[in-house]
Amino acid sequence: MKAFVAGATGETGRRIVQELIARNIPVRALVRDVETARAVLPAEAELVEGDVLKPESLTAVLGDSTVLLCATGAKPSFDPTGPYKIDLEGTKNLVDVAKTKGIEHFVFVSSLCTSQLFHPLNLFWLILVWKKQAEEYIQKSGLTYTIVRPGGLKNEDNTDAIVMQSADTLFDGSIPRQKVAQVCVESLSQPAARNKIVEIVAKSEATSKSFGELFANVA
């Protein structure tokens, strides 16, 4: 297995890279600026420069990767097209190139509540709408996928247990990015994670379960 990580310099993406490397999975990290990326990514990661909005830059950089994890995201800004471009068009570009390159598993970091149009997060230029459309594009692509919908992301890890449920059943809560990264990387080796949407949060009062159990409990 060789993993291609889009959004590798991001707060979640860099943790995905670390999780992959900790499991001895070779990583090709898509970055927009190699010099900046070197400061945040482990030396073991191979850095390749590209932009999800420039599909012509993606085919070559995907190289011999066999799985793809996408943790890109639009930064809050006054550009109303930001989430549309990054979360939808950028993801579609990655899906298209993943298909041509025969990628075996596509993991996408989405969000809780993508099915809710009247959600306050949609005040950020309809971000949940575009994420939902990206999810549907992945689902229709024919690729094997796992769509991971986390609650509010936190940088600090904790000892809370991961709660994992089916699509459109969790509506609030938060989760450390480290745990999101673990779920993404685990999904690559868990047969029960294939072609599923999983919603995740972390709760101190929840019972800790193995990743096998967590994925198997999701319809």
Ligand X SMILES: NC(=O)c1ccc[n+]([C@@H]2O[C@H](COP(=O)([O-])OP(=O)(O)OC[C@H]3O[C@@H](n4cnc5c(N)ncnc54)[C@H](OP(=O)(O)O)[C@@H]3O)[C@@H](O)[C@H]2O)c1
* Whole-number Å distance between alpha carbons of 74 and 164: 25
Sole binder of ligand X in the list 47, 58, 69, 71 (CB under 6 A): 71
Closer to ligand X by Cβ: residue 5 or 193:
5
Q: Are strands 3-6 and 67-70 parallel, antiparallel or unpaired?
A: parallel
Question: Quick one: which of 22, 34, 53, 206 contacts ligand X (CB under 6 A)?
Answer: 53
Residues 80 to 139 in contact with ligand X, rule: CB under 6 A: 86, 90, 109, 111
- What is residue 64's DSSP assignment? T
Q: Of 88, 105, 150, 181, which one interacts with ligand X (CB under 6 A)?
A: 150
Site for ligand X in 165-194 (CB under 6 A): 177
**Residue number of the CB atom closest to ligand X:** 10
Kindly state whether residue 63 participates in binding ligand X, applying the rule CB under 6 A.
no
Q: How many residues does the chain have?
A: 219
Residue 11 is a binding residue for ligand X (CB under 6 A): yes
- Residue 194 DSSP one-character state: T
What b/e readout covers 79-113, taking b as 16+ CB neighbours within 10 angstroms?
Answer: eeebbbebbbbbbbbbbebbeebebebbbbbbbbb
The CB-of-109 to ligand X minimum distance in angstroms stands at: 4
The dihedrals phi and psi of 106, each to the nearest 5 degrees, come to -115, 115
Binding-site residue total for ligand X (CB under 6 A)? 22
Cβ(127)–Cβ(72) below 8 Å: no
Catalytic (active site) residue 111? yes
- Closest approach, Cβ 158 to ligand X, in A, equals 15
Per rule CB under 6 A, is residue 203 in the interface with ligand X?
no
Among 110, 111, 174, 210, the one annotated catalytic: 111
Q: What is the longest distance spanned by two Cα atoms in the chain? A: 47
- 27-31/3-6 β-pairing: parallel
Catalytic amino acids?
Answer: 111
- Residues contributing to the site for ligand X (CB under 6 A): 7, 9-13, 32, 51-53, 71-73, 75, 86, 90, 109, 111, 150, 152-153, 177
